[in-house]
């Protein structure tokens, strides 16, 4: 019955990896946006 754990575990691990990558991209985009907003007022005196 070990194959049931593989049948359930592999898709769960793949879904976790995809969600983790999506979260990382979302946080990275937000950090870049925040950094651009902080630099924009400094560029204009």
* DSSP letters for 1-45: -HHHHHHHHHHHHHHHHHHHHHHHHHHHHHHHHHHHHHHHHHH--
pLDDT, tens digit (0-9, with 9 covering 90-100), for 17-37: 999 999 999 999 999 999 988
User: Does the global pTM surpass 0.75?
Assistant: no
The pLDDT assigned to 33 comes to 93
The pLDDT assigned to 28 comes to 95
Domain residue extents for the chain? 1-37
Residue 33 CA to residue 22 CA, distance in Å, equals 17
More confident residue, 45 or 22: 22
Residue 40 CA to residue 45 CA, distance in Å, equals 10
């Amino acid at each position: 019955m070990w194959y049931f754990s593989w049948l359930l575990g592999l898709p769960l691990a793949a879904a976790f990896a995809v969600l983790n990558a999506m979260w990382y991209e979302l946080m990275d985009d937000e950090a870049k946006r925040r950094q651009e907003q902080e630099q924009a007022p400094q560029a204009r005196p």
